[in-house]
A and B are shown apart, each in its own frame.
Chain A
Amino acid sequence: MRVPEERLRAYSNLRRDFSEEEFINLQPIQRGGVLTEEARRAILEFGDGYSVCDWCPPKTARLDMITDPPIKQFYEDLATFLGMGVARVVTRCREAKFIAFKMLSQEGDTVVLDSLAHYSSYIAAELAGLRVKEVPNSGPPEYRIDLATYASKIEEVKAETGKLPAAVLLTHVDYMYGNVADAKAVGKIANDYGIPFILNCAYSAGIMPIDGKELGADVIVSSGHKSWAASAPTGILALSASLSEKILSKSSIEGDLSKRRFAAKELALLGCTVMGAPMVTLMASFPAVVKRVERWEEEVQKARFLVDELERIEGVRQAGIRPKAHTLTHMETEPFFRVSEGHKRRGYFLYDELRSRKIVGIQPGLTKHFKFNTYGLSWDQVRYVRDAFHDIAKKYQLNVR
């Protein structure tokens, strides 16, 4: 079948509207994935499909065995950096969760997870054939996960099913409020019960220091394109040495006619995972990532500064735990909503005003509440954002204290 030329023209000269060179992008899921200069250079070098496979060792033809480029070393360094025994790169954080769920459970088992978990945690559990038992949060204004309840939820599962949960999952930093949960406390509860503890570090590992051993994590999952200055799709699956054999068990299937076997391949990974450009961006950014986590406190200071400055607009209030311990921030902005009710562009006025000031990333149409992320912005850029919000507030006669 032929595809018409005019349709094919849509794929030439692909350009992004919001380049980092022109706009300040506050998109909550994008800040930690902005590439380093080294990563952008690496794309130029390794953009071709199987380019990392030039020197794939014939004896053990497997991604994690490649030494040029140094993927083997990278996996080792990645595990060390996260305080874990073994690391693998998979396509996405959700895939890492699915792999852990699948390999640690039997059909019909239960996973205990926090009620602020990302939807992909639920879907990964569903695909793995698991039920979920949720740990509640306190609701407004803090939405704090009641961590001690993990123990009672584990007991509930035991009472209902006669079995302990297959795994306990905690979202280290939630996507909605940017609350940082005390992973060590949940790790202790899970370890006391002997239940594998999966820590979802999609919004933490790669931007803030994480030591899986100290936190008692058996599995750490993370997202390269969210928090490791890497292109999508890149997910991280890091395992304690004790669980790695189980989760990374090898294929045992055999062809009934050919008798072919694939005993070197890691079953749950379906063999090799991320080849080419996404993998090399993750690797190329790694030295910068190792350094940048040490500057985490300053990143938090920028977020707190902006929260304080936005709260100078009367009626504006940060949601979630205070003071901020993460750069992902949720603001309740009733005054902007009131403005939107009388504006011809309605809820889109705020987006328009910000965009005209070269700021994007606040979801178009939202004025009552919105999220942003200041991670990686310079102080000058943070102050620029502050000035823009104050300017807009004053333009619409809102009181800025």
Chain B
Amino acid sequence: MSLSREIKEVINNMLSADQVLRETAPQHLMNAEEEKRFLDAVSKAEDSLRKIRGMAGMQR
């Protein structure tokens, strides 16, 4: 996967997290399912960020 594609993965996953915020605005009182969706999305974004750091390092 290209760096650019992986960066889009980060953004896409953060959009998923953001979607939960939209659905629970303005108080963001999440039920268990919403909280899981939120945390899963953030976690996937973090995985992508780790990959990006690795890929960027390889290209130096």
Contacts and interface: CB of A to CB of B under 8 A. Distances in A.
B39 interface: no
A369 interface: no
A380 interface: yes
B26 A37 contact: no
B10 to A, nearest CB: 11
B21 A21 contact: yes
Given A45-B8, A380-B29, A384-B27, A37 B16 contact: yes
Interface residues of B, number: 15
B8 A22 contact: no
A45 B21 CA distance: 22
B15 A40 contact: yes
A40 B21 CA distance: 14
A18 to B, nearest CB: 10
B3 interface: no
B25 A44 contact: no
Contacts of B26: 22-24, 357-359, 384
Interface residues of A, number: 18
A45 B11 CA distance: 11
A37 B23 CA distance: 11
Contacts of A357: 26
Interface in A320-376: 357-359
A41 B27 contact: no
Interface string A67-81: 000000000000000
Interface in B1-40: 8, 11-12, 15-16, 18-19, 21-27, 29
Interface string A367-401: 00000000000101100100000000000000000
Contacts of B24: 378, 380
A381 B27 CA distance: 9
A374 to B, nearest CB: 14
A280 to B, nearest CB: 14
A6 interface: no
Nearest to B16: A37
A160 interface: no
Contacts of B25: 20-24, 358, 381
Given A358-B26, A384-B27, A44 B12 contact: yes
Interface string B27-56: 101000000000000000000000000000
B44 to A, nearest CB: 13
A34 B8 CA distance: 21
B33 to A, nearest CB: 13
Nearest to B11: A44
A20 B22 contact: yes
Contacts of B15: 37, 40-41, 44
Interface of A: 20-24, 34, 37, 40-41, 44-45, 357-359, 378, 380-381, 384
13 contacts: A20-B22, A21-B22, A21-B25, A22-B26, A40-B15, A41-B12, A41-B15, A44-B8, A357-B26, A358-B25, A358-B26, A380-B24, A381-B25
Ranked nearest first, the 7 interchain pairs of A and B with the lowest CB-CB distance are: A358-B26, A21-B21, A20-B22, A37-B19, A41-B12, A40-B15, A21-B22
Given A37-B15, A41-B15, A358-B25, 20 more contacts: A20-B22, A20-B25, A21-B18, A21-B21, A21-B22, A22-B25, A22-B26, A23-B25, A34-B22, A37-B19, A40-B15, A41-B12, A44-B12, A44-B15, A45-B8, A358-B26, A378-B23, A378-B24, A380-B29, A381-B25
